[in-house]
């Protein structure tokens, strides 16, 4: 097998271009800065997006630990249908279920008035073991066994300035007719539990009571508003709730956890996209440092380029030569960035703790984020996407210097031909 002279020359020139006086243009100061910029940009974007992934997954788990995965709300309130319950018990995809009743009421303490959604679950085991187990932060001796007891969110408790054992007055919009007129129906409830889901919209606007107390206070006559479900796989909630609704011929509305909180998840996605775009713009600037690096290399190696053109080397191949060189810069920076991003993401909490101990300052507040450690989960599909974008940017950054290299005039520089 014979090696083409042009191929041999191209590899010789590529190696020559990657060297310079004093030890290597690829590892000279300007090249170091280019590699550092790409590596730093890749490392930062992957690490930050990993933290965003961790928080998003943790928030989703917290929401699902308190919010039902899916709901069937009947068109008209009716008595609890036991035949429905038998259907639910035989479904292996259902982890928990309960009939529920709810109403919008006002909650009053001194001069503070706040509208809330009052919810009562018929299945107390579902409420306590599935919905309150992870989020309950304070409770009395009896959670909902005491007559007219109530469980409220931590944000609502702070807003109303109340603690366990305090009383809150609830008012409905239905009037209580008396001989001398009508008054809003009202009842005092004792706080026996406080939960903290970590989601402000839930913690400020939802309160839980016993179905027995709801029946008495709201005069439900043993009627329920619908049924709630938890599934083994929450991602299939929408599909599964439609199947259940068809099987029981439910007349009303169905919803799942994502459709009931659209604004919340939209804001999370928007924040994530904005951060990604900002970090990608920084990475783009870092990749375009390749332009200055290659321009300096081309100016230094004009004689080598001219020699290739003089012996008939195609300018198109010279163009590709510098595209390959730029891609090499991108690949090296990319691999370094991915390596350090994995190290950072896997040990982020320990690194933050070490920095906090060194500077004697708290950087991460668990009581604000309700998480003992910084969650960090690398999404490898996203990492592949970032890698591809980095390589594309590196290639595009090499286009202008590569084009300029093809404009080298061998007639002017032939006297300077010198291979090292």
Low-confidence winner among 86-100, 212-226, 333-347 (lowest mean pLDDT): 86-100
| Dist CA 106 CA 190 (whole Å) | 15
**Same structural domain for residues 283 and 255?**
no
> Does residue 175 surpass a pLDDT of 70?
no
**Same structural domain for residues 143 and 290?**
no
Q: Helix crossing, 289-300 with 262-287: angle to 10°? A: 10
Which of 194, 229, 259 is the last residue before a domain boundary?
Answer: 259
pLDDT score for 79: 60
Which tokens sit at 252? 């009303």
**Same structural domain for residues 50 and 95?**
no
CA distances from 293 to 28, 300, 413 (A): 9, 11, 21
> Which of residues 309 and 66 earns the better pLDDT score?
66
> Does residue 21 surpass a pLDDT of 50?
no
Alpha helix segments (H runs only) across 117-184: 124-125, 154-160
**Same structural domain for residues 130 and 239?**
yes
Which structural domain range is residue 332 located in? 5-61+265-416
**Same structural domain for residues 94 and 233?**
yes
> Which of residues 81 and 284 earns the better pLDDT score?
284
In whole angstroms, what separates CA 274 from the centre of its chain?
12
> Does residue 8 surpass a pLDDT of 70?
no
What is the mean predicted confidence (pLDDT) over 255-274?
78
Q: Is 292 exposed, middle or buried (0-12, 13-18, 19+ CB in 10 A)?
A: middle
Consecutive H or E run containing 13 = helix 5-17
pLDDT score for 397: 85
**Same structural domain for residues 97 and 214?**
yes
Round to the nearest angstrom and report the end-to-end CA distance of the chain.
26
Residue 11 CB partners (closer than 8 Å, separation 6+): none
φ, ψ for residue 386 (rounded to 5)? Answer: -65, -40
Number of domains comprising the chain: 2
168 pLDDT band, cuts 50/70/90, is very high
What is the mean predicted confidence (pLDDT) over 211-227?
86
**Same structural domain for residues 136 and 154?**
yes
**Same structural domain for residues 31 and 124?**
no
What is the mean predicted confidence (pLDDT) over 408-420?
56
pLDDT score for 14: 58
Q: Is 140 exposed, middle or buried (0-12, 13-18, 19+ CB in 10 A)?
A: middle
Q: Residue 235: how many CA atoms within 13 Å on its side-chain side?
A: 1
What is the mean predicted confidence (pLDDT) over 354-375?
68
CB 273 within 8 A of CB 381: no
In the chain, the percentage of residues whose pLDDT exceeds 70 is 80
Which of 231, 259, 287 is the last residue before a domain boundary?
Answer: 259
In whole angstroms, what separates CA 389 from the centre of its chain?
20
Q: Look up tokens 């308190």; give the residue.
A: 66
Question: For residue range 45-79, what is the model confidence (pLDDT) as tens digits?
Answer: 898 888 888 888 887 887 788 888 888 887 666 56
Q: pTM of the entire structure?
A: 0.69
Low-confidence winner among 22-31, 53-62, 304-313, 367-376 (lowest mean pLDDT): 22-31
**Same structural domain for residues 178 and 207?**
yes
**Same structural domain for residues 401 and 309?**
yes
**Same structural domain for residues 294 and 330?**
yes
In the chain, the percentage of residues whose pLDDT exceeds 90 is 10
Which of 259, 287, 309 is the last residue before a domain boundary?
Answer: 259
Break the chain down into helix, strand, coil percent, rounded to 5.
55, 20, 25
> Does residue 280 surpass a pLDDT of 60?
yes
> Does residue 208 surpass a pLDDT of 90?
yes
**Same structural domain for residues 180 and 302?**
no
């Amino acid at each position: 097998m014979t090696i083409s002279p042009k191929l041999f020359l191209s590899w010789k020139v590529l190696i020559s271009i990657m060297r310079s006086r004093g030890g290597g243009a690829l590892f000279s100061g300007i090249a170091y800065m280019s590699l550092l910029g790409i590596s730093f940009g890749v490392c930062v974007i992957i690490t930050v997006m990993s933290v965003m992934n961790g928080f998003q997954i943790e928030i989703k788990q917290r929401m699902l630990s308190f919010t039902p995965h899916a709901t069937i709300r009947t068109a008209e309130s009716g008595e609890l249908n036991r035949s429905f319950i038998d259907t639910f018990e035989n479904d292996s995809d259902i982890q928990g279920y309960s009939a529920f009743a709810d109403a919008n009421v006002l909650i009053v303490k001194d001069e503070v008035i706040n509208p809330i959604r009052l919810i009562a679950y018929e299945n107390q085991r579902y409420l306590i073991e599935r919905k309150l187990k992870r989020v309950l932060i304070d409770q009395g001796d009896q959670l909902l066994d005491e007559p007219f007891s109530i469980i409220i969110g931590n944000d609502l408790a702070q807003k109303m300035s109340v603690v366990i054992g305090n009383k809150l007055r609830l008012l409905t919009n239905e009037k209580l007719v008396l001989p001398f007129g009508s008054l809003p129906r009202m009842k005092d409830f004792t706080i026996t539990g406080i939960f903290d889901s970590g989601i402000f919209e839930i913690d400020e606007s939802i309160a839980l009571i016993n179905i027995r107390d709801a029946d008495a206070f709201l005069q439900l006559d043993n009627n329920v508003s619908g049924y709630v479900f938890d599934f083994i796989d929450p991602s299939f909630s929408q599909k599964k709730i439609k199947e259940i609704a068809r099987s029981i011929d439910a007349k009303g509305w169905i919803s799942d956890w994502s459709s009931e909180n659209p604004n919340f998840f939209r804001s999370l996605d928007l924040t994530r996209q904005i951060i990604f775009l900002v970090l990608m713009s920084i990475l783009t600037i870092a990749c375009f440092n390749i332009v200055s690096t290659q321009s300096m290399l081309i100016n230094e190696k004009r004689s080598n380029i001219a020699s290739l053109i003089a012996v008939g080397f195609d300018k198109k191949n010279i163009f590709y030569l510098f595209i390959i060189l730029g891609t090499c810069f991108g690949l090296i920076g990319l691999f370094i960035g991915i390596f350090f991003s994995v190290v950072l993401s896997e040990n982020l909490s320990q690194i933050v703790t070490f920095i906090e101990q060194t500077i004697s300052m708290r950087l991460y507040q668990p009581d604000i984020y309700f998480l003992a450690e910084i969650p960090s989960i690398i999404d490898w599909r996203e990492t592949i996407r970032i890698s591809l974008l980095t390589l594309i940017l590196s290639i595009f950054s090499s286009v202008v210097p590569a084009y300029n290299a093809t404009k080298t005039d061998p007639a002017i520089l032939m006297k300077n031909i010198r291979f090292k």
